[in-house]
Each structure stands twice: as structure tokens, then as C-alpha cells.
Amino acid sequence: MQIDFSPPDISEDDIQAVSEVLRSGWITSGPRVQEFEAALAEWTKTPRVAVLNSATAALQCVLELLAIGPGDEVITPAYTYTASASVICHVGASPVLVDVAPGQYQMDTESILAAITPRTKAVIAVDIGGVMCDYNALRKTLSSPQAFRRFAPRVGTMQEIFQQIPIIADAAHSFGSSYLGQPSGTVADFTVFSFHAVKNLTTAEGGAITWRNNLVDEATSAEIYQRIKLYCLHGQTKDALAKSADGAWEYDVVAPLYKCNMTDIAAALGLSQLKRYAQMLERRRQLISLYTEQLQTDAAQGGYSLDILSHDDGHGSVSNGHLMMVRLLGRDDAFRRRFIVKMAEKGVSCNVHFKPLPLLSAYAALGFDISSFPEAFKQYENQVSLPLHTLLSDQDVQYVCDSFKAAYAETSAG
């Protein structure tokens, strides 16, 4: 038996949708991209969505929209994927890493407060595993007098729209999640999604940006959209589709910008996936409850403890079930590594989300030391992510759980 970690769920309809674009004579950004943006806006209940070729490009784009650059600081968790922090370096600003709250995957609000300086221009919060951060608590922290007094928006830039330090959601994992009943995409000031191959909904590679409904008036919202489009396509005033109209060859380049547009091929895949996304989310919920029940029963019988990431807080915060994250409580890194090898020997592919940034050479070289992030290390040292995707059958989940129980016993036996 071989259970892969997260293969893409590609249906015959998806293949058909992509084939149609390939045959249509238009494969780069065009009508499918526009349709996909409209469909995403409907899904996320936001007036506008702009798509790009990755969440990484989208995060960088938001930082540039906010005119964040050299001399500025952006706060993000130590416990995340590199993209949340690397984009801060890309724009020439300094990442300020913050520890997670004890026993949690999101930043500790007191530590955020302590990290704010007059150079802090944004906070990038990360919705790990699909579970949205506590944005009300974060907003409250940023509106406290201590944080509020320190926010100095740069004059003549979009930072001036904000009364307090803007919140950017790295929602790479949380498309389709909600926070207290509000969809991901409407909660933070800016939200960035990923449609990478391992995400719940994929365009192979892809990303999107939304911004909060009441953040700006209609004219400013239209301007934000326009600026994202310029950012994605060299700062060129006309995209390939507009230029292809008879006699419409001429264009201007208003700034030497980037090339990170989404193609119609990718958008067609996204549109097709979106049609069955509600079903996919439902199936993920079923798989998670099967897993949770069985893992807990086995742990009780085997006399060990697990911390299983909860995807539903019972108060309207429901995750999209992106990752099946488990911690082997009381166990250390060495045990977890041996356990993952045992799972692999049984044909079950596991993963770790995430190795805290200070443990990676790039961030160690920037001066970050894991000893300053003890809670992130505690979350990491015994964390294991189990296979979770919509190609899994109930029997597959049972097999993973049986393997888990056996691997745990074998690892304990030494």
C-alpha cells in the first residue's frame, strides 16, 4: 500500500477544461483569468480579486502596494514557510520574527506588541493548516495605545489609508476557511491565497489577492486592482489580450515592474476545480473526523497523547481542512524523525509543517536564533502532518491510522 501525502485531485472535467483552452488559440492571461477572478470574488464575498502566478508573488505585490521597502520592518511568525518572510527581504525591508503562543501555531499577541517599533509597517499573519488566525485579537493588539502610537504611515503612500498597522493574511492555506462566519479573504486588510499543486484547490501554480470590503472606496479599490495588474505584467498599460485587438498595438510601461501573471490555462483549471470545491471541502471534513476519531481511540488504547489540530472552533471559525496536523506529545525531534521513517516503511508519506525559520540557514544567517523562539520549537519538534487529500478513501484513512499506531509502538520500542 502506498499513500501519497498530497497528490492533486484532477478530474476528467478539469482535463477537459484545460484542453479547451489549449485548443482555443488563447493560452496566456485572457478571458479565463477574468472569469476566474469573478468566480473567486463570488466565493470570497469580496468585490474584486486579482490573480497572479503564486502566493509568493502576491505577498510581495501587497508589500509593494503598501510602499514597504528599505528601512521598514514587517512582523511575521517564526513558525511558517519561508515565503511569508522571504518576500519581506525581496522588497528590501527587514523581517521581524515573532514566537507563537504556547501550544498554538499562531503568533503570540504579547510578543507582537513587544516587536513593534516606529519602523513596523505591516504584520503578516499565517493561517497554518487552513485554520484562520484570531484576527480580532490581532486587530485589538494593533489598536492598543502602545502599537497605535508607534505606527507612522509614510506620507503620500497607501499606508495612509490605515489607522493602525495593516494586517496581511498569508492565507496560502486558507482558501475556503472562515473566521467567526466571515470568509477568508474578507477579514484581514489584504489576503493572499495560494493555488499551488498541493493546495486544496489548485491551478498547478497560482495565487490571488483580496482586500477588505470596507477598506477603501470603489475608486481606490479599482486602483488597487489596476496596480496589481500593472505589477504582474511589467508595468505595461495593456495586457496581451487588449493589445491583440485590431490596431491596438501601442502601449506604455509606467514603471519597470515584474512578470508574474496567471495564464488562462491555469485559470481554466482553477475554474473547473472551483465548481466542485464545496464538495471537496465537505470530503475533507469527513476525512478529518474519521482521522480524529480513530487516532484518539488508538492513542487512548496505546497510552499515548496526541495534539490534533482542530478545524472547527464551534463558533463559526471553520477551516478548509488543509492539513492533518498532529503532535506526538511528550516526544522529541529524534522520536518524530524515527516515527516518520517507520511510516514511510509502511508506505505512508508524512510531512512536517513547518521547520521554524530560525532553523533554516537563510534566517540563521540573518541573525535569528531558535533559542529566542522556544514555543515555535516546541510545536515543531514533535509535529507530523498525515496525508490529507480528496483522493483518499475511508479505507486509506484506516490504513494510515493503523500504520500510525504500529509506527508509534515500534518507535517507542526503539
Residues found near ligand PLP in the complex (CB under 6 A): 54-56, 80-81, 83-84, 126, 170, 172-173, 194, 196, 207
Helix (H, G, I), strand (E, B) or coil at 281: helix
Least distance (Å) between residue 245 CB and ligand PLP: 31
Least distance (Å) between residue 183 CB and ligand PLP: 18
Give dist(CA 54, CA 32) in Å, integer: 17
Least distance (Å) between residue 206 CB and ligand PLP: 7
Contact yes or no for 226/209 (Cβ under 8 A): no
- Identity of the residue, 83 or 384, whose beta carbon is nearer to ligand PLP in the bound complex: 83
Give dist(CA 237, CA 226) in Å, integer: 9
Give dist(CA 254, CA 236) in Å, integer: 6
Least distance (Å) between residue 1 CB and ligand PLP: 27
What Rg do the C-alpha atoms of the chain give, in angstroms? 22
Give dist(CA 169, CA 156) in Å, integer: 24
- Identity of the residue, 65 or 397, whose beta carbon is nearer to ligand PLP in the bound complex: 65
Least distance (Å) between residue 84 CB and ligand PLP: 5
- Identity of the residue, 174 or 403, whose beta carbon is nearer to ligand PLP in the bound complex: 174
Least distance (Å) between residue 138 CB and ligand PLP: 16
How far from the centroid of its chain's Cα atoms is residue 43's Cα? Answer: 17
Give dist(CA 62, CA 87) in Å, integer: 10
- Identity of the residue, 83 or 107, whose beta carbon is nearer to ligand PLP in the bound complex: 83
- Identity of the residue, 170 or 239, whose beta carbon is nearer to ligand PLP in the bound complex: 170
Give dist(CA 196, CA 192) in Å, integer: 12
Contacts of 405 (CB under 8 A, 6+ apart): 298, 302
- Identity of the residue, 115 or 128, whose beta carbon is nearer to ligand PLP in the bound complex: 128
Among 397, 133, 171, which residue's Cα sits nearest to residue 284? 397
Count of CB atoms situated within 10 Å of the CB of 16: 11
Least distance (Å) between residue 126 CB and ligand PLP: 5
For residue 124, CA distances in Å to 7, 76, 166, 314, 358 come to: 28, 5, 9, 25, 17
Give dist(CA 200, CA 236) in Å, integer: 32
Contact yes or no for 162/62 (Cβ under 8 A): no
Least distance (Å) between residue 174 CB and ligand PLP: 9
Least distance (Å) between residue 227 CB and ligand PLP: 20
Least distance (Å) between residue 220 CB and ligand PLP: 26
- Identity of the residue, 3 or 131, whose beta carbon is nearer to ligand PLP in the bound complex: 131
Task: Please state whether the peptide bond connecting residue 354 to the residue before it is cis, i.e. omega within 30 degrees of 0.
Answer: yes
Dihedral, 389, 393, 398, 402 alpha carbons, nearest 10: -60
- Identity of the residue, 207 or 270, whose beta carbon is nearer to ligand PLP in the bound complex: 207
Q: How many CA atoms lie within 13 A of 61 on its CB side?
A: 35
Amino acid at 70: P
- Identity of the residue, 51 or 397, whose beta carbon is nearer to ligand PLP in the bound complex: 51
- Identity of the residue, 105 or 291, whose beta carbon is nearer to ligand PLP in the bound complex: 105
